Structures are given as structure tokens and as C-alpha cells.
Amino acid sequence: MRRICSNVIVLSLCALLASPAYAAVDSYRFLHVTIETPWYIFIFLLGGVFAPFILMTVLVWKNAIRKAGKKVDETERKSSDE
């Protein structure tokens, strides 16, 4: 069974490398720099660089709300004990 799976994987890779789609990826059309290229780079970096900062902001904000709720509970508990 393992031999059959490895043969299928090898045959799939050979078919991909022999297909015209692989040749199209390596063509000049995809490597050509145009006036839109800086925008593509900007959009790529926008997601890759700013997404972690947005995630960090959301997590810090959520953690601050959770800690503030715990402090309120502790002060209410202390005032009710007295």
C-alpha cells in the first residue's frame, strides 16, 4: 500500500512538471515588472506585516478587559466580606 502511494505521488509530480501550467509559471509574463508591481508588493506586505500587529492589539485589548473584570470581582468580594 505504501509503495502504491509513493508511486502515485511521483507520477503526480512528473505530470505537474510536464504540464504547460508549470512552464507558464516560469515564463516572462510572471517575472515581468510593470507599473502595478509596487502595489502588489505593498498589498502583500500590508497583510504580512500589519496582520500580526492587529492581532497583537486585539489580544492585548481582550486581556486588559479580562484583567479589569477580575479586579472588579476582587474589590466586590472584599467589600462584601467587611
With a threshold of 0.85, does the pTM exceed it?
no
Average pLDDT on 16-40 reads 67
pLDDT per residue as tens digits for the range 45-82:
888 888 889 999 999 999 998 888 877 666 666 666 55
pLDDT at site 55: 92
> What is the Cα–Cα distance from 13 to 57, expressed in whole angstroms?
42
Average pLDDT on 5-21 reads 68
Average pLDDT on 25-41 reads 72
pLDDT at site 81: 58
- Determine phi and psi for 18, rounding to 5 degrees: -90, -10
> What is the Cα–Cα distance from 46 to 33, expressed in whole angstroms?
20
